[in-house]
Amino acid sequence: MPAPGLPVQAPAQSLVPAPVRGTVYGALLNHHDALAALGDAVHQPPYKAPPRAPVLYIKPRNTWVGNGDAVRVPAGVDALEIGATLGLVLGRVACRVSPAQALSLVAGYVIVVDVSVPHASFYRPSLRFKACDSFCPIGAFVPADRAVDPDALDISVAIDGQTVHRCSTAGLVRSCAQLLADVSEFMTLSPGDVLSVGVAAGAPLARAGQRVRVAISGLGQIENPLIAEGAAA
């Protein structure tokens, strides 16, 4: 596949929720079905075994866009993978916290649309496939005191109005609290950081000219058009 280029126009960021101001981290292979989809490959090189600790990557600030903003499809790329997931927005410093106290440090939740150029590397995904401009739409902030249970949220993806994928945070390998605790064991998370909890298997593909809507129960929805690199938003 040709190397994706950088969009010529930086994405708008005015609609990204104010509490999101640090680093957006993503967790790989944190859905049971995503891990199962690897089959025997998870026991072969370079993996050799299922992950024993969280496998993380980042979605840098240039990827952030808000509801209604365009996601740009790089030149030479036929379609983008639309990974729908939940983001935990930190409200307090998290360093070596226990699962029992982890969620007390979460200020609230956001929908995270983890957009990627399709690729085969799961343990060491290249930033060139996950960090192009506009590759991380972020939904409206929902405070934690809204009584949302982060481990029981239904997630759906629709393309051009037709639902094409459903999953739930009930399928996480590590619960939200356990994931945050495990990550905080080896790195400190700060207020404004976001930890997205992982994308389920079967993330759908979308092409330039299509419109993607991601909804999470209790958090609303976010909708973004896909446009070809260089096209007017």
pTM of the model: 0.87
Return the closest-CA partner of residue 110 out of 130, 129, 86: 86
Cβ–Cβ under 8 Å, residues 76 and 2: yes
DSSP calls for the chain: -PPP---SSPPP-TTS-TT--S-EEEEES-BHHHHHTTGGGGGSTTT-S--SS-EEEEE-GGGEE-TTPPEEE-TT---EEEEEEEEEEESS-BSS--HHHHGGGEEEEEEEEEEE---S-SSS--HHHH-STT-EEB---EEGGG---TTS-EEEEEETTEEEEEEEGGGBSS-HHHHHHHHHTTS-B-TT-EEE--PPTTPPEE-TT-EEEEEETTTEEEEEEEEETTS--
| Per-residue model confidence as pLDDT tens for the chain (233 residues) | 333 433 334 444 446 888 899 999 999 889 888 666 666 666 566 666 666 778 899 999 999 999 999 999 999 999 999 999 999 999 999 999 999 999 999 999 999 999 999 876 655 656 788 999 999 999 999 999 986 899 999 999 999 999 999 999 999 999 999 999 999 999 999 999 999 999 999 999 999 999 999 999 999 999 999 999 877 66
- Report the 3 state secondary structure along 68-90: CCCEEECCCCCCEEEEEEEEEEE
**pLDDT for 124:** 60
Give φ, ψ of 110 to 5 degrees.
Answer: -140, 155
- Domains of the chain from N-terminus onward: 24-228 (3.90.850.10)
**pLDDT for 9:** 40
**pLDDT for 2:** 38
**pLDDT for 5:** 38
The length of the chain, given as a count of residues: 233
